[in-house]
Chains A and B, each alone.
Chain A
Amino acid sequence: MKRRDFIQMSGLGMGAMMLPNIPIVGRSVSAEALMDGYVDVAVKKRLADAALNAAKAKGATYTDVRIGRYLNQYVVTREDKVQNIVNTESYGVGVRVIANGCWGFAAVVDAKSEADTARAAEEAVAIAKANAKLMTQPVQLAPQKGFGEVSWKAPIQKNAFEVPIKEKVDLLLGVNDAAMKNGANYVNSVMFLVNEQKYFASSDGSYIDQDIHRIWPIFNVTTIDPKSGKFETRRTLSAPMGMGYEYLQTNPSDKITGITTRYNKGYDMLEDVIAASKQAKEKLTAKSVEAGKYDLVLDPSHLWLTIHESVGHPLELDRVLGYEANFAGTSFATLDKWQSKNFNYGSKQVNLFADKTQVGSLGAVGWDDEGVKTKQWDLVKDGTLVNYQAIRDQAHIIGEKESHGCCYADSWSSVQFQRMANVSLAAGKTPLSVEEMIKDVKKGIYIIGDGSFSIDQQRYNFQFGGQLYYEIKDGKIVGMLKDVAYQSNTQEFWNSCVQVCDERDYRLGGSFFDGKGQPSQSSAVSHGSSTARFNGVNVINTARKI
């Protein structure tokens, strides 16, 4: 599903457009049917072996087989109404090969027999051989040892698909009711669940069975002042997580109290919607920001998106090399800057790392979609650019012997390629709380939640908004602001980072919908950080009259 489709169907777009007809990806089934249909590992191994053998017989020098069953569930509501409940299931097999030095890929829906997967493998080899005629350089694949028969399961406590629909409906309608009772004029809320049951087998000798779970409870409240004709919104401060239904069962230790409560590994949706409704009302009469330079204090619920756009994307090696030039763009972080070993990406306080292992993150898996064991690695160390994100056919370009393990395909029917790992800002090493950070700010803005976002195709110039803006004067929060957006340049921005709070404040944000490639594929990714301070950033006022 494309991000735009999801935004439209969930009514969470800025215009709160509500389309009750949800685009269905895969087949629509009953909630109960999602619980059946696990394909036995022995069956998957047989199907995979048939493809591996067939590809080899046709001359493939490398083959991988992905057998995927992808489940989604959406519960969509507004005010006192359930607008839609959709359960989808998609099952099939994708086979990727190297033959005559070139990649080839073919996929088959609902593959039931060994003959089905063998046929897909043969087709993939035929495509590789045809494409080899147009090839300029043969694929160089970093070696990868086989892991034998292994498995990985997301460490969830409660499978959200097993929770009855009624419980989810009751939760969302309860959230909506609380919003309406606390000043909202309109409210939309959605529960979005994902389960990827993925099996990977390769000619390197790996047979990897993985079970991945994601959850994203979201709402958007709107308040209206009919007299002035103005309206304001406040979206959820939840994060999409690689967790089960336990994400909705909060402990006091999951809450970060302050000017508004923020959440770590447990989300109190009811508490957040009550705060949101009051804050959306307060926004209607908040002071419009005066444009100028401010010190920004950015909460992790906001900073994740700035990290995603200004660090995650420019350090994807395929973008650096030009493979995304016609769509997502290229990157300012060119190979010469990395080779110089002294490219100043940010200040000394800035340590950015990539990983596919953080517990609860969206990117966490045991092995990536080309059978590489996942890990953590540095991208920016003490402010200096030290590495990119690369997969098996790119590792040699940056002089590495193995892939970083960040290859992903959004479906059995899509070709896997290099995707963003979780990219996060390391917590500060010196003990520092948010309150202590704010105390030293003379003229600043504290921003919570993600809002409008835009960045150029080489990732220099960006503009971000948020959900909540608080004015800081002489070390104190003095009131709410509106019409705020900040503009900066990636290198300038990260060099203006003067402080990062310590690990007590470290939290994840993220998205289900990172888009890349043509045809476009979606990937889910998390970004962690503690609250961080950036000095002298340019803030604009976004109010207009029409």
Chain B
Amino acid sequence: MSIILTKEEAKKIIDKVLAFSKADEMSVSLGGSRTGNIRYARNSVSTSGESLDLSLAVTAVFGKRSGTATINEFDDKSLEKTVRRAEEIAKLAPENPEYVPMLGPQTYLETSTFSESTAKIDPDYRAKAAFESIDPCSKKGLTAAGYLEDSSGFNAMGNSKGLFAYNKSTSIDFSITVRTADGLGSGYAIRDFNDASKLSTKSATEIAMQKALASSSAKALEPGKYTVILEPAASIDLLQNMMRSMDARNADEGRSFLSKKGGGIRLGEKLFDERVNIFSDPSNPEIPKAGFSGDGRPQEKIYWIENGVVKNLTYSRFWAEKKGVKATPPPSGFIMAGGTESLADLIKGTEKGILVTRFWYIRAVDPQTLLYTGLTRDGTFYIEKGQIKYPIKNFRFNESPVIMLNNLEAMGVPMRIGGSLIPPLKIRDFTFSSLSNAV
């Protein structure tokens, strides 16, 4: 059996499993993937490998009791055995008072998440990709450490109420850190795509090389509040953490940055600069996503923040039913609308500021205000009169994305990063609280 089943093949197996059911409700999810990777450090490949996975999970429900069993064999006998096991587990499970009956048939957006160029990647491709990254570094006396991972696969689900969903997808992720031989300079670049033909490990490495060379012998600046230009690799984690905190139940329960003083939630309030627009759209061609969420709910285009106003929150199906609202699932990836300027334009328009390549070790400090701490890493530069003047030592920051998106100065053209589209952001009064000697 191939690892990547067609829609018809997947449906046939799921229907067969559902036919064995004696439960009140049953859902089946089936997924297969081929994942490969290559890792290198000190200009030499350290590990590489490939793994195949095809597995099926059955959830049986009796009343409000549910049980799940999984299997990676697909003959009739194994499938039936798995159904019986899920049913046994369900019967022994305690009742879940928050159980919501399964969804019926749904309509999903058709999206294009699969690319043949990624699906055909083989060990030779990975070795060549690593070579094209290591070779220019060794030739310049620099040290490369990088990681490439590619995956192609499918996900399908179906249930006894007639729901069926199928999606085939590919992905490739690449990151590279280049360090100078004396250990005084370090640069970084990261890329991710559905379509591997868009990736050049060589050109990403060249950026990391430039940053490594340019960041050597950094000067120390006093910690304090600075205007910063955050490259998308820097802002992604803070923004992603904020998006993951937009759960309605936590807000309703009074334990979220979206909970209101005196009770209630801040839905509909203007919490950010009016130029802040964040939405998700599974059919965006640059970050295409499956048209359905993990529990079968449709993923649609939806605004989370529009003109600085909180427009929508994410809901579990239980909480939505309790509140009598639409059960909007959390998105996988989001888009922050930006401007038309390039990163170079943003630098040119900056009188005094700091360019940040990336942040590292970001951890929540206070969930009440979404205060996070972390550090700059792998290329931090001082900007004066529109030009990069010199590299500076890394800083620790203590900042909230909510405050940050109120202190917005300018935005550049969004680029894909970690499955989202994010513009470079120019932010005033960004709080750096101490210096780090780390390179």
Interface residues of A (CB under 8 A from B): 13-18, 20-21, 24, 27-31, 81-86, 103, 105-107, 109-110, 127, 130-131, 134-137, 165, 169, 185-186, 222, 224, 226-231, 233, 321-327, 329-330, 332, 334, 413, 415, 452-461, 463, 465, 483, 485, 487, 489, 518-519, 538, 540, 542-546
Contacts and interface: CB of A to CB of B under 8 A. Distances in A.
Interface string B177-188: 101000100100
Given A82-B94, A487-B433, 11 more contacts: A83-B96, A84-B96, A85-B94, A324-B145, A329-B438, A332-B437, A452-B364, A458-B438, A463-B396, A463-B398, A546-B257
B2 interface: no
A306 to B, nearest CB: 14
Contacts of B89: 28, 30
Most buried by A among B43, B98, B363: B363
Interface of B: 37, 39, 41-49, 51, 57, 68-72, 85, 88-89, 92-94, 96-98, 123, 127, 130-131, 143, 145-147, 149, 175-177, 179, 183, 186, 244-245, 247, 249-250, 253-257, 259-263, 271, 294-295, 316, 360-371, 373-375, 377, 394, 396, 398, 400, 402-403, 433-439
18 contacts: A16-B367, A27-B72, A28-B69, A134-B131, A227-B262, A322-B41, A323-B46, A326-B177, A454-B373, A454-B374, A456-B396, A459-B438, A460-B436, A460-B437, A460-B438, A461-B394, A544-B400, A544-B403
Nearest to A89: B70
Given A85-B93, A131-B48, A28 B368 contact: no
Contacts of A453: 363
Contacts of B400: 544, 546
Main secondary structure of the interface of A (DSSP, over half): loop
Nearest to A232: B368
B82 to A, nearest CB: 9
A135 B39 CA distance: 13
B149 to A, nearest CB: 7
Nearest to A105: B49
Contacts of B370: 546
A457 B42 contact: no
A14 B364 contact: yes
B262 A461 contact: no
Nearest to B124: A130
Q: State the 4 A-B residue pairs at the shortest beta-carbon distance, nearest first.
A: A229-B261, A461-B436, A325-B145, A456-B438
B70 A454 contact: no
Contacts of B368: 230-231
Nearest to B361: A454
B362 to A, nearest CB: 7
A268 B46 CA distance: 46
B242 to A, nearest CB: 10
Contact of B247 (A14, A15, A105, A329): A15
Contact of A21 (B295, B362, B433, B435): B295
B361 A455 contact: yes
B366 A127 contact: no
A134 B93 CA distance: 53
B377 A457 contact: yes
A224 B179 CA distance: 48
Contacts of A321: 42
Given A127-B49, A454-B362, A454-B374, A15 B256 contact: yes
Nearest to B35: A519
B181 to A, nearest CB: 11
A34 to B, nearest CB: 12
A454 B147 CA distance: 23
Nearest to A30: B89
B123 A130 contact: yes
Contacts of A460: 436-438
Nearest to A88: B70
A226 B37 contact: no
Contact of A17 (B43, B247, B434): B247
A324 B398 contact: no
Contact of B70 (A27, A489, A543): A27
A142 B117 CA distance: 43
A316 to B, nearest CB: 13
Given A17-B247, A544-B400, A332 B438 contact: yes
